[in-house]
Amino acid sequence: MSPRRSTWAILILLVFIGLVASQSVAAAGPGSSAPPPYLDPDQPLERRVADLISRMTLEEKAAALFHNAPANERLHIPAWGGWNQCLHGIWSRQPTTLFPVPIAMAATWDPALVQSVTDAISDEARALYNLHAEGPHGKHGLVYRAPVINLSRDPRWGRIQECFGEDPYLAGRLGVAYVRGLQGHDPHYLKLASTLKHFAVNNQEQGRMSLSAQVPERMLHEYWLAQFRACVVEGQAQSVMAAYNAINGTPCAVNHLLLTDILRGQWGFQGFVVSDLGGIGHLMDGHHLTTRPEEAVARALRAGCDLDDEQYRDAIPAAVRAGLVSEKVVDQALARVLRVAFRLGVFDPPERVPFSRIPAEVIHAPAHRDLALRMEREAIVLLKNQDGFLPLDPAKLHSVAVIGPAAEYPEYGNYFGVAPKRVSPRQGIRNRLGPGVLVQFAAGCRFLGPANPTEIDQAVQFAHKADVAILFLGTNLPVESEGRDRRDLNLPGAQEQLLEAVVQANPRTVVVLLNAGPVGVRWAKDHVPALLEAW
């Protein structure tokens, strides 16, 4: 090679090395071989947050305000925020421990027991994260959308199974315990980030994307917001979900009074606010505030809604460039999100984060299954026990008729995961009584639909021949669930007809209710010796 060519080769190599070095300096900071402040776990939290934001482009900031934000390889930001549900166990493709629904937990009136349950749930959630396991929305993240602390003021509401009932004090006590169990007890790191739902005055599924709840100010603070305040001030919840609905004409996702003046100004909330799924889009197609995504996004950001599931990523840059919202407001929203991310330890070496050592063996562990059984037993409510009819003495029984649609196909409730050791009421009774007692099962009817005379006749025959009949009645997800309110409180389908026919055949009938929202059981109350609410 000629000297001139050698010189050019050396120059090209030096330029290449310089480019690589300049990229390293951009990440690590000028004149430093140490990690940048945001990657240094010994730096103060606020310095780490500010340092990272200062290195991000507007497009990178917008992408980070997406609820399932992808990894940013340039800045070594992991994909950490994938959300999930854990109302009564983890919503997962992998078997985990399934607990009773929250309305059943509420029936225990036991905050310590609720916290034990969410301690177990959060252990399993961290173990799944450590395994990099897949959930319904990709890799399991560390932000869990629970608890639901809305109040069941209308007993026809379809999501009563997800909440703690109609009393703000009880919902507040159980909500605080729930949040503490999810988020853990380490002074520096969060086990999970708990998202309180749905802020606020959310008590109706029909029209929820467009309706406006009209609420006097005193009622708003003393009833609808009291349990949220407890979970923020005492429980230190790190995330709040803005509800779909409006309050007094202003949608929650753009409600400055709600998200900034009350939540942050009065209660001192330090976490981030996320819209409900599609909530920013519904500002346009539901509430008709605007037809422009960038305007909807700008209004939500200015009100204090920090994170979104679809609109922010694409519309934030356009909104900033159009002058609808300043980049400073975007930075404020991002800072709230990043504070939680740093406290979850996603930027730190695993050895610094105590929860990274939670092993896979905790998932569906025997101790957790025992805890689920204890919670279920504590939740059952004895509504009637005439003349000490219960408990039944197995030694005195020769035959039992197990009847009802809920005896073989009980509902787990909204957002349930995989239950690997499912035991139906019919099977549980058979296991408990053993081979010496004849147990016959007849569904009698479906949860919904008209009566089938053949099915009812079979149930009546079994009941007539049995020493005692145990009738399992209630509701399922097609009756009450997210997006589905009830029109009345009657037992659905032909269950009332089945009830009366069975009791006429055998007055020694125990009725067990497996439902979430209340059901009318006036006839049963007057005609059966024992009645239980088992959820």
Instruction: Please tell me the predicted confidence (pLDDT) of residue 25.
Output: 39
Residue 294, token pair as written in the block: 């960038």
Candidates 276, 309, 331, 485; catalytic one: 276
Cis (ω within 30 of 0) for the bond into 253?
Answer: no
Exposure on the CB side of residue 289, measured as CA atoms within 13 A: 27
Which residue bears the tokens 């009450």? 480
pLDDT of residue 167: 98
Give catalytic status of residue 526 as yes or no. Answer: no
Partners of residue 511 on adjacent β-strands: 471, 531
Cα separation, 120 vs 123, in Å, equals: 5
Tens-digit pLDDT string for the chain (535 aa): 554 445 444 444 444 444 444 444 345 544 557 899 999 999 999 999 999 999 999 999 999 999 888 899 999 998 876 789 999 999 988 899 999 999 999 999 999 999 999 999 999 999 999 998 665 555 678 999 999 999 999 999 999 999 999 999 999 999 999 999 999 999 999 999 999 999 999 999 999 999 999 999 999 999 999 999 999 999 999 999 999 999 999 999 999 999 999 999 999 999 999 999 999 999 999 999 999 999 999 999 999 999 998 899 999 999 999 999 999 999 999 999 999 999 999 999 999 999 999 999 999 999 999 999 999 999 999 999 999 999 999 999 999 999 999 999 878 899 988 888 889 999 999 999 999 999 999 999 999 999 999 999 999 999 999 999 999 999 999 999 999 999 999 999 999 999 999 999 999 999 999 999 999 999 999 999 999 999 9
Which residue type is seen at 164? F
Question: Given this model, what pLDDT does residue 138 score?
Answer: 57
User: Of 187, 256, 201, 265, nearest to 233 (Cα)?
Assistant: 265
Q: What was the pLDDT predicted at 32?
A: 55
Vertex 66, ends 187 and 38: CA angle to 5°?
A: 45
Q: Give pLDDT, residue 42.
A: 97
What residue ranges in 225-299 does DSSP mark as E strands?
A: 239-242, 246-247, 250-251, 272-275
**Structural domains for the chain:** 44-354 (3.20.20.300), 380-533 (3.40.50.1700)
CB 69 within 8 A of CB 81: yes
- Contact between 149 and 171 under an 8 Å Cβ cutoff? The reply is yes
DSSP letter string over 67-85?
Answer: TTPPPBTTTTB-----EE-
- Half-sphere exposure of residue 484, counting CA atoms within 13 Å on the CB side? 11
Using DSSP, state whether 530 is helix, strand or coil: strand
Q: Are strands 509-514 and 468-474 parallel, antiparallel or unpaired?
A: parallel
Query: What is the C-alpha to C-alpha distance for residues 413 and 401, in angstroms, rounded to an integer?
Result: 26
At residue 152, the 3 state secondary structure works out as coil
Q: Which residue has the tokens 């399922």?
A: 476
- Answer yes or no: are the C-beta atoms of 516 and 535 closer than 8 Å: yes
DSSP per-residue letters across 400-454: EEEESHHHHS----SS--B-TT---HHHHHHHHH-TTSEEEEE--S-SSS---HH
Question: Are 61 and 316 within 8 A, CB to CB?
Answer: yes
